[in-house]
Amino acid sequence: MTILGDTLIINDSQSRNHQFYAYNVVTGRYLGAFGKYGVGPGEIANFGLIGIATDSGTLYGVDYNQWKVYGFDIAKALSDSTYQPFKKVDFYSGDGTRPITRSIYLNDSTVYCAVLVPSHDYRKIGYHLGRFNLLTGRSELLDSINPDEHSGILCKHPDKDELIEFSIEFDRIRFFDFNGNLKRMVYGPDYKDYQKKASYYESTPTIVGDNIYIVYANGGDFRDPDVGHQIIVMDLEGNYIKSIDVGIRINAITYHPETRRMYVATWDEPQLGYFEIDD
């Protein structure tokens, strides 16, 4: 779930009609859907979102069935029911080709993401901080973390060339520069120096002013309906400020600056709602 201007775009990976649905958050009007599901020409399936280029209004994602990156001009896709996405790049087919996930979009050439690296016997998958080139289709590793540990969820610092990674297996946050150099780590109150095989942070982090908002599971399993009700608020150094409990398991959050609304998608009813952010 993301916002482009006044348009809220919901990525519905369970839909077998269209993958993306759009609403105007000011008027509440439904704007339409795009990304027709299927395996035919111009259709997408098993499609993973990379992000939206705000300057051009283009949504990029990976079709994992074809190993290609496709783009949607959002305005054209919503105004023309026959619109088909354009191919941006093929994944590089030589040595070092690696799947990517949990990505954040920066510009028309660069995506920061988690890069999946299998062990020599393919029994384990390591998740590393990486960079994907939208022009060549190549991915590269930027860190050397424990290959058995899952890299977390990324966001970009609003004022610095800095990436913030929230672990899904440790109560820990790491700060990297754009070259993958670890700058500092922040440990939460439930941190343990071993993997608990459970979730701590979930959903794409949202930065509002000087604060970070992210869903927190406190080491629980996000499949548990009693887990993932809380949004943790912290400053840009990772210091805890407060918790917001919405009383229902959260799927995603995103922020609309003009109305100061934090939109919340859930796993239950109501599926979508919002609350206002105070100064």
- The pLDDT tens digits for 129-161 are 889 999 999 888 887 655 555 667 888 887 888
- Mapping DSSP to helix (H, G, I), strand (E, B) and coil, where does residue 74 land? helix
d(CA 255, CA 35): 23
d(CA 220, CA 90): 37
Instruction: Report DSSP state, residue 151.
Output: P
d(CA 187, CA 265): 27
User: Confidence band (pLDDT; 50, 70, 90) for 116?
Assistant: confident
Token digits of residue 19: 């993958």
- The pLDDT tens digits for 56-88 are 899 999 888 888 899 999 999 999 999 999 999
Q: Does residue 201 contact residue 230 with C-beta atoms inside 8 Å?
A: no
Give yes or no for residue 24 having a pLDDT over 90: yes
User: Confidence band (pLDDT; 50, 70, 90) for 95?
Assistant: low
Phi-psi region of 38 (alpha: psi -120 to 50; beta: other; left: phi over 0): left
Token digits of residue 173: 């946050």
Helix (H) or strand (E) holding 79: helix 74-79
Give yes or no for residue 109 having a pLDDT over 60: yes
User: Confidence band (pLDDT; 50, 70, 90) for 243?
Assistant: very high
d(CA 241, CA 257): 20
Give yes or no for residue 21 having a pLDDT over 90: yes
Q: Does residue 20 contact residue 32 with C-beta atoms inside 8 Å?
A: no
User: Confidence band (pLDDT; 50, 70, 90) for 121?
Assistant: confident
- The pLDDT tens digits for 161-215 are 899 988 888 888 989 999 889 898 998 888 887 766 677 888 878 999 999 999 9
d(CA 146, CA 166): 15
Average pLDDT value for residue range 33-37: 94
Q: What is the 3-state secondary structure (H, E, C) of 3-15?
A: EECCEEEEECCCC
Please tell me the predicted confidence (pLDDT) of residue 160: 84
* Residue of 84, 88, 122, 115 whose CA lies nearest to 99: 115
Q: Does residue 58 contact residue 74 with C-beta atoms inside 8 Å?
A: yes
Q: Does residue 35 contact residue 24 with C-beta atoms inside 8 Å?
A: no
Longest dimension (CA), the chain: 54
Give me the numbers of helices (H) and strands (E) for the chain, helices first please.
1, 23
Average pLDDT value for residue range 89-93: 83
